[in-house]
Amino acid sequence: MSIIGAILMGILQGLTEFLPVSSSGHLAIFQNLFHLGEGVEDLFFFDILLHVGTLIAIFAAFYKDILKLIKEGFLIIFDFFANIIGKIRGKKWRRVIRTGYRKFVMLVIVSTIPTAIIGILLKDLVSDCSKTLIMPGIFLIINACILFIADRAEEGEKTPKEAGYGNAFIVGVSQGIATLPGISRSGTTITMGLICGFEKRFAVKYSFIMSIPAVLGAAVLEVKDVVETKAAFEPVYLLGMAVAAVVGYGAIKLMLNVVKNKRYIFFSVYCFIIGLVAVAGSFIIK
């Protein structure tokens, strides 16, 4: 891969992973239009590093929250086992989920469960849809409608303490459905968070932080493909990863502004147009 190619792929990954336009939908359309599937096995390693780049962007944007969540996660485990030992000794049961960050940890766990289940169930469907031009186009049109709804969602006030586990489950379901090519993960989860009454900044923060287990899971699965195909590593892949991290960080900051000022409509119109073009192209290009 050339340096220019690595930079362009890094930019594409950084933008479409966090902006509500669906990275998988754009990739599927480009693959079908320009027949980019050949030799894709050699890019498994590069794809993993691009995912690492997006994770770096999330950590850079929310590192204080993430470090706090990791700390509280370990303390939850500690208190859980301390309660078991204490119960045996006849001591009083202590409350485990007693802070906002501990509630945040549990919300992310609850969201991850339906995401994983739906992701596994839809795996074959996602693969089949990605091989066509019409399905990503249809899903992009649906994504445009989702973003249109987000632009009109009422202001919420829920923070981690007020958010319910039912809310977390619903957002997790939406993240699982967003594996379909053309449905934006960030757009769908943020929209669902807003519908559930999440405060705007929390909706964005929750959407990106809850994506960490999903992105890590996808990367781990791709490691198997790297081993099986013996995909080669090229130093230029690190450049693509760095570009994805920098561009992704900027995209996260942009999304915070988009949600704050209700500017989803621009992305909605964009997805609608690209979706229509893809659907029309499916009847023209054979």
User: Which residues make Cβ contacts (< 8 Å) with residue 82, sequence separation at least 6?
Assistant: 94
**What per-residue confidence (pLDDT) applies to 231?**
60
219-225, long-range: CB within 8 Å, 24+ apart, which pairs? 219/48, 219/51, 219/52, 222/44, 222/47, 222/48, 222/51, 223/48, 225/41, 225/44
**What per-residue confidence (pLDDT) applies to 224?**
67
**What per-residue confidence (pLDDT) applies to 37?**
47
Domain encompassing residue 84: 3-284
Domain count, the chain: 1
**What per-residue confidence (pLDDT) applies to 142?**
95
**What per-residue confidence (pLDDT) applies to 35?**
58
Q: Which of 9, 21, 57, 251 shows the shortest CA–CA distance to 141? A: 21
What is the value of pTM for the model shown? 0.85
Average pLDDT per block of 10 residues along the chain, 286 residues long: 82 86 79 56 69 90 93 91 80 82 94 92 87 90 92 85 94 93 91 92 91 81 65 78 93 86 86 92 78
**What per-residue confidence (pLDDT) applies to 152?**
83
